Amino acid sequence: MIITKKKDPNDIIESLQGYKSVYLFGCNTCAEQCKTGGIEEIEQMTATLTENGFEVTGHSLVDETCYEQLARREVRKVPEIKESDSVLVLSCGAGVKTVADSVDETTPVLPALDSLYLASVERVGRFFEGCSLCGECVLTETAGICPHTECPKDMLNGPCGGVSGGKCEVLTENDCAWTRIHGRLKAQGRLDLMKKFRPLKDNSIKLNPRQTLLRGPGSEAHKDR
């Protein structure tokens, strides 16, 4: 789950200055769950923009806005998109990028949200950062608790000197990730893993933009939906 938060409405209005009409895109997966880009938020945004003198020409609530084929289908199907001065996307940055790549080059596509993190979902409406997408999973050796994600200092070889009463020095409400890793490894009889020197991370694997190509481009790619 990608967690997003709403931008300040004044900032959105500011970013739309100079455009009379706006078309809205929401996302019915992550942003819907975060209450940032589902149907309710699209309606709220429509009301806000209308009150501020913009003409909202319509909206699309795509199942996954980050899915380019779905976005392109919407653009082909809905003439209002092309006729609008601008498009505002209520989804994560990947959704904004996808819509921007799908519409006519001359149409400005703007974000309504800030993208935050990849979350584990405790239950509806309770999200916790779950993975930093570091490119080289260390959970094998850290008992399922990620030091990249849960330690603000990215410590790979144990806690920093700031741990106090088992709490994190930076986020003082949180339990120290390494205190938890230590506790869990100990409970599993695997403390030898913590005693091992963990070498420097290879950051070259994070060279962006990254891509994963399971097949070539072309007509074959258009059959999956």
Q: Which residues bind other proteins (CB under 8 A)?
A: 152-166, 169-170, 178-179, 182, 186, 191, 194-195, 197-201, 203
Measured CA to CA, the distance from residue 2 to residue 33 in angstroms comes to: 9
Q: For other proteins, which is the closer residue by CB, 1 or 134? A: 134
Q: Quote the least distance from Cβ 55 to other proteins, whole Å.
A: 37
Residue pair 52/14 in contact (Cβ under 8 Å)? The answer is no
Nearer to other proteins, 41 or 150 (CB): 150
Least distance in Å: CB of 206 to other proteins?
12
Nearest approach in angstroms of CB 210 to other proteins is 19
Nearest to 63 by CA among 39, 97, 86: 39
Cβ-Cβ contacts under 8 Å for 179 (sequence gap 6 or more): 159, 163, 166
Nearer to other proteins, 79 or 162 (CB): 162
Q: Which is nearer to other proteins, 188 or 203 (CB)?
A: 203
Query: In the complex, what is the shortest distance from the CB of residue 169 to other proteins, in angstroms, rounded to a whole number?
Result: 6
DSSP letter assigned to residue 164 = B
Smallest distance, other proteins to C-beta of residue 218, A: 40
Burial label, 66 (beta-carbon count in 10 A; 0-12, 13-18, 19+): buried
Radius of gyration (C-alpha) of the chain in whole angstroms = 22
